[in-house]
Structure 1
Amino acid sequence: MIDIQNTQDTREVPLQKVGVKNVRYPIQVLDKNHKVQSTTGTVNLFVNLPHNFKGTHMSRFIEVFHKHHNDISMNNFLEMLEEIRSKLDAERAFGRITFPYFIEKSAPVTKSAGLMEYTCSYEGEVAKEAKFFISIKVPVATLCPCSKAISEYGAHNQRGFVKVKVLYSKFFWIEDVIKMIENCASTPLYSVLKRKDEKFVTEHAYDNPRFVEDVVREVYLGLKKMDFKWFTVEAETEESIHFHNAYACAEFNSEC
């Protein structure tokens, strides 16, 4: 049958990205405590398209991804993109997979267990050089230092999140980064809290007030200790007594 995608295009307009987007697929990722975790990924896969080709072959993206979906690990992600680039005869290939990552977490006093969800993503590009980034979004709680300093009966607190994006250079565990981030907030969040736990968490937050600026700076220092060569840190909280969100961010580049 005729291959329309490979026919000549005369408009002389190259396309930076063509491919498939928002593909939902079961995947398996590495888990520090259980070796492997099954989850669901939302997948974007692209290649560049030279000006002289009419289109790309969309089915080939899914064929290659299906081959790799049972092992979407940090080490294999770029190999998958290289296979896509080669199979579609492209100069560059791009990919992004976003997935919920679950960790069983015990309450601080009663040790009651529940699952916490964290949003993670792998994002990469292969061309003459390869780049691979990992993003992790962690829910946290903060207690306002200013409110604590000026109030006689307590301090306002709020729930928010910290998002980090790191350039991959060597293997690390997602769980280790999450734990470090949670320790930089006023308190971590939990899915199960009994009354003894709630007392502990409330008092722990009160003893560890944090502005979003504090959280970003603490996470920044934590990521530097983990020896990441490039990263960004964002913190955002939905303020409980203000009609706005509080936000801060920072970037680190070891080459600058």
Structure 2
Amino acid sequence: MIDVQSRKDHRGIALDHVGVAGLRYPIVVLDQAHGKQKTVAEITMSVNLPHHFKGTHMSRFVEVLNHYHGEITIRTLPKLLHTLRSKLNAESARVKLTFPYFLERKAPQSHAGGLMDFECQFVGEMRGETLDFILGVKVPVTSLCPCSKEISDYGAHNQRGILFIEVRTTLEESGQPRMIWIEELIAVAESSASSPVYPVLKRPDERHVTMQAYDNPVFVEDMARNAAVQLQQDPRIAWFRIHAENFESIHNHSAFASLEQWAKPD
């Protein structure tokens, strides 16, 4: 049949990204405790389009995804990107996946269990043979205001917030990015705040987390810096970006702090 997409385009304009977006697809990701976890991702996939091609073949994106959906991780994403470039005759390819990741959490005193969901991202891009991979996790936390605690006769205002941590890892001798677990970034975020968030809390648990937060007051700036200190000390991490945000309980706005940093050379 006639291949309209491969016809010549005479406008002389190359496109950085063409592809598909908003694609929901079941995938399997690595789970530190259980090996693997099934979830559903919203996916954006794209390649560059040289100036002389009229269009790309959109159906090939889904065909490639179907081949790799049994595991999409730092281990398989380079192969997926390489296949995209090959199938679509492109110089570069990019994939972004956003998906919920579930962990079982037990309350600190009663040990009542429940599932917590964390919004995660994989972003992979290949230009030539150069691979770029970013892992991102949004973690809900509790923060208690140090100023409120200091100036109040009793109590202090607290609120729920989020820490969004993104990392690039250093490379192994093979050239592949080093492994870092989603669970490890969640632990960094939760330990940087006043208290973690739990899916189930009984009265003894609520008492515990309330006092835990009161004993660990942090500004949003503290949360960002606390997380940065931990990431700076991890030799696997080459770059990180942190966005901390508090959904203020006494204001009609949020407060945030952010930073981006490459690892310091040895």
Identify the TM-score tier after normalising by the shorter chain: over 0.9
1:161 and 2:170 aligned:
no
TM-score by length of 1: 0.98
Cα distance between partner residues in 2 of 1:168 and 1:83:
23
Cα distance between partner residues in 2 of 1:168 and 1:3:
41
* Runs of 4+ residues deviating >3 angstroms: none
Q: Deviations over 1:90-135 (max 9, x none)?
A: 0100110000000000000010000011000000110131111111
Residues 155-234 of structure 1: matches in 2 within 5 Å? 155-169=156-170, 170-227=178-235, 228-234=237-243
- Distance 1:255-1:214 versus aligned 2 partners, 3 A rule: closer
TM-score by length of 2: 0.94
Partner of 1:26: 26
Cα distance between partner residues in 1 of 2:190 and 2:98:
21
SS at match of 1:229: strand
Cα distance between partner residues in 1 of 2:74 and 2:113:
28
Partner of 1:41: 41
Partner of 1:5: 5
Shift of 1:254: 2.2
Shift of 1:50: 0.6
Partner of 2:175: none
Q: Between Structure 1 and Structure 2, how many residues are aligned?
A: 256
- Counterpart amino acid of residue 250 in structure 2: I
Segments of 5+ residues of structure 2 without an aligned counterpart are: 171-177
SS at match of 1:226: coil
Alpha-carbon RMSD across the aligned residues, in angstroms, is 1.0
Shift of 1:80: 0.5
Cα distance between partner residues in 1 of 2:247 and 2:97:
27
Shift of 1:34: 0.9
1:133 and 2:134 aligned:
yes
Cα distance between partner residues in 2 of 1:138 and 1:74:
20
Cα distance between partner residues in 2 of 1:251 and 1:8:
42
Shift of 1:183: 1.1
Partner of 1:146: 147
